[in-house]
Structure 1
Amino acid sequence: MFCYQCEQTYRSGDAVGCATQRGNCGKDTTTADLQDLLVHAAKGLAQYAKRARALGAPDREADAFILHALFTTLTNVNFNAARFVGLLQEAARLRDAARARYEAAARAAGQEPETLANAAATWQPAPDQNGLLRQAAGVGVDAGIDSVGADVTGLRSLLLYGIKGVCAYAHHAHVLGQDREDVFAGIERALDFLAQDPADVPALLDEALALGTLNLSVMEMLDAANTGAFGAQQPTAVRVRPIQGKAILVSGHDLGDLAALLEQTRDSGIQVYTHGEMLPAHAYPKLKAYPHLAGNYGGAWQDQQLDFANFPGPILMTSNCIIEPLPAYRQRIFTTGPVGWPGVRHLESHQFAPLIQAAKALPGFKADEPGKTITVGFGRHAVLGVAGAVIEAVKSGAIRHFFLVGGCDGAAPGRDYYSDFATQAPRDTVVLTLGCTKYRFNQHDFGDIGGIPRLLDIGQCNDAYSAIRIATALAEAFECGVNELPLSLVVSWFEQKAAAVLLTLLALGIRNIRLGPTLPAFLTPNLVQVLVERFGLKPIGEAHADIREALRLEAA
């Protein structure tokens, strides 16, 4: 086992990466190694799917599988080794079918099919788990580091983790019925590139930026999927204290799962609460129209063990962010989609009857708690709808600066920086936020500037496209580039979706991003220096000092 894909990676002196029997995320070495092998298998599948597509024979089943398979390998998604054995068998079946599809298309076009001899294209699954683990030994993320060096390995990792993030976002859109051929083609091309074991640093950097551009299209597609299914976000006050009655808690990111559950619990007397990154669901008109979408419970994903233990009903974990379920709630947590944990009941295809039965059997909340609300729903439609007032406030000097303070939260030390930064931002500045970092400060009273709230919650990390659209619209209004706006990006990263978003920001040419609480372990000092010189990427410092520097640079 060797893994350094997330911010909680083990670090001690020169030793970097989780390489013991258990990663800091709770992933054991068996699961970690099977995930590495699944990535290897996906590369082989993508190579043939790419070539079949080029000949007019795309394979939609292979496309969807790649999205789902790579999503399962993200941090805090699937810890069930048995599920990966099945995924590996499926990957081999689909790879063989894609090869046959490609060869038939080539011959139909009068071409001799290309013979792919690399390890990913020719891999055949071992008959049992022990055999698969032996195969995994040579395909980890650090494979070949002795020959190509840490810089090349780090860039390969950056590209791979970006691909994982792209696949996760694309999967969210896919389950809502939104797909784009250029997205499937771009993912296949990136995996095919990695399968060739590239060692050219400039080529790897170019490919990473191309992936960032692809991710912009993916986030646009996901935005269209969410707004098309549920309407454009609207500013909405969300109750953050429970009310009396039976209850279900939904965590993760998947709005489609929440919508299906709301429909199945209509008129049942069961209240449905959101948790973590599901909070923005309350801003979508078609979701908040359900009166039993009762509010939000708890905080960010890393608080779930306490939140879930105290919740008096069952929990549904969708998409990513699961951590080891405690005995206090292990028998009442369910997973769905790409999520998995050994011994936890998994529900397929929105078959939520066992979850609903559990809610009816469990006590629920005994009484209403005192009411308290926070406001969400400042996606691009809401913010751009009042763009005129925002622009005038900037021109008049009422709004001096915008700070985007957002991204993934986590339990590692140093993340108080983000709450300090947001709450210390001067009264004539506006704080935009998205992702679960906002839980560190979203109950703080920021007030407003001429009726414009000083805290604008744009939504999930999945809503990064909204933030980009807001920034580009303001730049157009002021006839300048995004880098010339009175705007600073202060980003908290944790996992591979964040890697994809970072690549998008870099591909757009956005400079001087502050990233923390630590820089990714797969970025070597040499690679960090390249990003500093080329994009002005900066590690976070002290909140008050970083605020002063941002305002000083603007004044200059």
Structure 2
Amino acid sequence: MFCYQCEETMNGTGCTMNGMCGKKGDVAVLQDRLIYALKGYAFCNSRGRTKDCNDSDFGPFVMEALFSTLTNVNFDAAYFEQMIQETIKRRDVVRNAVHNGAPPGPHAPNAAVITYEELMTKTAEEIGILSIENVDVRSLRETLIYGLKGISAYGIHALILNSESDEIYQFIEKALVSTIEDSPLEKPNVDQMVALLMECGSIGVKIMSMLDTANTGTYGSPVPTAVSTGVGQKPGILISGHDLKDLEMLLEQTKGTGVDIYTHGEMLPANAYPFFQKYDHLVGNYGNAWWQQKSEFESFNGPILMTTNCLVPPKDTYIDRLFTTNMVGWSDGTVSAKHIPANSDGSKDFSEIIALAKTCAAPKEIENGTVMTGFAHDAVLSVADKVVSAVQSGDIQKFVVMAGCDGRRKEREYYSDFAEALPDNTIILTAGCAKYRYNKLDLGDIGGIPRVLDAGQCNDCYSLVVIALKLAEVFGAESVNDLPLVFNIAWYEQKATLVFLALLSLGVKNIVIGPTLPACLSPTVLDVLVQTFNVSKNTDVESDMKRLITL
């Protein structure tokens, strides 16, 4: 195998035996084969689109498939074997329609004609990342693929809430086709590939906006909320991930059962939506960021429902309490997590989880207090006059965007140290699980405005964009780059890659990222980002404080 899609990649270059995420080599190769098959499917569907015989389900299916290949989503080899088979089947239906059942011709790319049996013999060296010899082309194509994975993750969440866009589906199709090595279609040059990355970022802004509208239209606009981190005396179910629809169904099915519901990880911001606040048995948030789940899932005592990514290979002590749904899956070939499928209408039956919860002890308390969330764009803009006044008076000197992902590396202690070292006249704007490095620190407030404003999940970075653009408008700035606003962002996986591309597409410059630079960026591609956007890596707290805050 060879994989370098996440920040944790081995030695900062690539995982070659097994993934640092816990993904086994055989699963990694299956994911490579699935991506390869999706490229062929996209090629055939693009030809079918010109003849009005494309697959109308192309977008939803490909988004699901791409989502499943994100870091820490699915570790089940059988799932990927089935998805590869289904992709080849769908591809062939479209291809046969395009050619009226005749052979596709000698110039069709291999991904468009390879059989399932042939594909299953292909190695990572033949079809994976390293099969692209030109390092810069490889870098640009893989970065684009990771951006597509981020689009797909957010797109699936929006689709579940009945929001979709053919513009987004067509971009995914076009972008996948652009990465086919032997495609007879016109191949983009380096400048065009960079332009595709910027377009990917623009599509990222659109998909995050669409998801924001879907979430707030369904569950209301988040309101600032103090969420309990303690526990009650009743048995509980812990729900982790990002999918709000799963939380809604779980809360409905547990009403009156005597079972409490706790959020975990990226589900914390759900507590701020008015819709969910009507459920008395949604009692708070348990634990911290995804990487601490092994100890926290063990001490929780009750069943755990994983709705999206950030699954860590489970311990034997709680595997019998672990449930997965959507694209999430776990199996090591002998032991598997129980999977809850969706019915044809999208509904799910969580009765098995609820029955198990009733037999379990209440969660073990690991902390006791509250944590604030719910500072999405509507909440912040509702007090915009107060914020502007604080800036004009000098009470607020700078806003620091510290959004993104958390992770296991010791180097990530930097973000806690940086937050604590910030002057008292700075405000942290955050979204994503990076917040767990500082959202429980006692940083106080500025005139009633908390110094940590948590907009929500990683997709809610869109809220930070809206806030920044509004501040630029209020202060008469030509762009967000002219605001007292700096970016010190942590990344881990492919949704963060999309958010990064989204910020670049909006013209945001001087972004500092860490704790390492993406391994997929070749020196040449990195130089383009540095020269065009002044992107840089974080260093140490003292040095970064000088260049970002005390300029």
Q: What range is the shorter-chain TM-score in?
A: over 0.9
Q: In 2, distance between residues paired with 1:231 and 1:189?
A: 34
Look up the match of 1:64. 60
Deviations 1:22-59 (A, max 9, x none): 11111111100000010111111112223333455553
Look up the match of 1:345. 338
Q: In 2, distance between residues paired with 1:369 and 1:299?
A: 10
CA shift at 1:482, angstroms? 0.5
Structure 1 pair 474–328 and aligned structure 2 pair: CA distance change class (3 A): same
Structure 1 pair 101–170 and aligned structure 2 pair: CA distance change class (3 A): farther
Look up the match of 1:549. 547
Structure 1 pair 264–417 and aligned structure 2 pair: CA distance change class (3 A): same
One-letter amino acid of the structure 2 residue matched with residue 354 of structure 1:
E
Indicate conservation of the 8 Å contact 1:403/1:432, yes or no: yes
Look up the match of 2:345. none
Q: Does 1:99 align with 2:95?
A: yes
Q: Does 1:393 align with 2:390?
A: yes
What's the TM-score, normalizing by structure 1? Answer: 0.93
Q: In 2, distance between residues paired with 1:17 and 1:113?
A: 36
Indicate conservation of the 8 Å contact 2:320/2:337, yes or no: yes
Q: In 1, distance between residues paired with 2:371 and 2:262?
A: 14
Q: In 2, distance between residues paired with 1:98 and 1:288?
A: 46
Q: What secondary structure, in the 3-state scheme, does the structure 2 residue paired with 1:285 have?
A: coil
Q: In 1, distance between residues paired with 2:28 and 2:9?
A: 13
Look up the match of 1:459. 456
Look up the match of 2:120. 132
Unaligned runs of at least 5 residues, structure 2? 343-347
Q: Does 1:118 align with 2:106?
A: no
Please say which of residues 238-247 and 416-425 is displaced more in the overlay.
416-425
Structure 1 pair 242–91 and aligned structure 2 pair: CA distance change class (3 A): same
Q: What secondary structure, in the 3-state scheme, does the structure 1 residue paired with 2:280 have?
A: coil
Deviations 1:346-369 (A, max 9, x none): 111122111111111212248x88
Structure 1 pair 124–135 and aligned structure 2 pair: CA distance change class (3 A): farther
Q: Does 1:144 align with 2:132?
A: yes
Q: In 1, distance between residues paired with 2:374 and 2:57?
A: 35
One-letter amino acid of the structure 1 residue matched with residue 23 of structure 2:
K
Q: Does 1:49 align with 2:40?
A: no
Q: What secondary structure, in the 3-state scheme, does the structure 1 residue paired with 2:283 have?
A: strand
Q: Does 1:34 align with 2:19?
A: no
Q: Does 1:164 align with 2:149?
A: yes
Look up the match of 1:190. 175
Indicate conservation of the 8 Å contact 1:170/1:222, yes or no: yes
Q: In 2, distance between residues paired with 1:538 and 1:526?
A: 14
Q: In 1, distance between residues paired with 2:466 and 2:340?
A: 36
Structure 1 pair 270–70 and aligned structure 2 pair: CA distance change class (3 A): same
Q: In 2, distance between residues paired with 1:53 and 1:196?
A: 21
Deviations 1:437-468 (A, max 9, x none): 11111111221111211110110101111111
One-letter amino acid of the structure 2 residue matched with residue 449 of structure 1:
I
Look up the match of 1:266. 255
Structure 1 pair 370–493 and aligned structure 2 pair: CA distance change class (3 A): closer
Look up the match of 1:436. 433
Q: What secondary structure, in the 3-state scheme, does the structure 2 residue paired with 1:8 have?
A: coil
Look up the match of 1:522. 520
Look up the match of 1:87. 83
Indicate conservation of the 8 Å contact 2:303/2:323, yes or no: yes
One-letter amino acid of the structure 2 residue matched with residue 154 of structure 1:
S
Q: In 2, distance between residues paired with 1:123 and 1:469?
A: 45
One-letter amino acid of the structure 2 residue matched with residue 542 of structure 1:
D
Q: In 2, distance between residues paired with 1:228 and 1:195?
A: 38
Among candidates 416, 421, 425, match of residue 418 of structure 2: 421
Q: What secondary structure, in the 3-state scheme, does the structure 2 residue paired with 1:402 have?
A: strand
Indicate conservation of the 8 Å contact 1:116/1:122, yes or no: no
The total of aligned residue pairs comes to 537
Structure 1 pair 223–476 and aligned structure 2 pair: CA distance change class (3 A): same
Q: In 2, distance between residues paired with 1:463 and 1:452?
A: 20
Look up the match of 2:3. 3
CA shift at 1:339, angstroms? 0.5
Q: In 2, distance between residues paired with 1:543 and 1:143?
A: 39
Indicate conservation of the 8 Å contact 1:30/1:133, yes or no: no
The alignment-based identity, stated in percent, is 45
Q: Does 1:336 align with 2:325?
A: yes
Indicate conservation of the 8 Å contact 2:124/2:130, yes or no: no
Q: Does 1:210 align with 2:199?
A: yes
Indicate conservation of the 8 Å contact 1:280/1:460, yes or no: yes
Q: In 1, distance between residues paired with 2:38 and 2:475?
A: 45
Q: In 2, distance between residues paired with 1:180 and 1:417?
A: 39
Q: In 2, distance between residues paired with 1:373 and 1:158?
A: 38
Look up the match of 1:471. 468
Q: In 1, distance between residues paired with 2:503 and 2:4?
A: 22
Following superposition of structure 1 onto structure 2, how do residues 303-382 of structure 1 map, counting pairs within 5 Å?
A: 303-342=292-331, 343-349=336-342, 350-365=348-363, 371-382=368-379
RMSD: 2.1
Indicate conservation of the 8 Å contact 1:33/1:133, yes or no: no
Structure 1 pair 116–231 and aligned structure 2 pair: CA distance change class (3 A): farther
Indicate conservation of the 8 Å contact 2:403/2:461, yes or no: no
Q: What secondary structure, in the 3-state scheme, does the structure 2 residue paired with 1:262 have?
A: helix
Q: In 2, distance between residues paired with 1:121 and 1:70?
A: 18
Please say which of residues 71-80 and 416-425 is displaced more in the overlay.
416-425
Deviations 1:294-337 (A, max 9, x none): 10001100000010011110000111000110011011100100
Indicate conservation of the 8 Å contact 1:266/1:292, yes or no: yes
One-letter amino acid of the structure 2 residue matched with residue 140 of structure 1:
G
Indicate conservation of the 8 Å contact 1:435/1:460, yes or no: yes
What's the TM-score, normalizing by structure 2? Answer: 0.94
Q: In 2, distance between residues paired with 1:239 and 1:60?
A: 45
Structure 1 pair 40–370 and aligned structure 2 pair: CA distance change class (3 A): closer
Structure 1 pair 450–114 and aligned structure 2 pair: CA distance change class (3 A): farther
Q: What secondary structure, in the 3-state scheme, does the structure 1 residue paired with 2:268 have?
A: helix
Q: Does 1:407 align with 2:407?
A: no
Indicate conservation of the 8 Å contact 2:229/2:367, yes or no: no
Q: In 2, distance between residues paired with 1:360 and 1:226?
A: 31
Q: In 1, distance between residues paired with 2:31 and 2:437?
A: 32
Q: In 2, distance between residues paired with 1:261 and 1:514?
A: 39
CA shift at 1:136, angstroms? 5.3
Look up the match of 1:181. 166
Indicate conservation of the 8 Å contact 2:178/2:188, yes or no: no
One-letter amino acid of the structure 2 residue matched with residue 465 of structure 1:
Y
Unaligned runs of at least 5 residues, structure 1? none
CA shift at 1:196, angstroms? 4.4
CA shift at 1:520, angstroms? 0.6
Among candidates 504, 521, 534, match of residue 532 of structure 2: 534
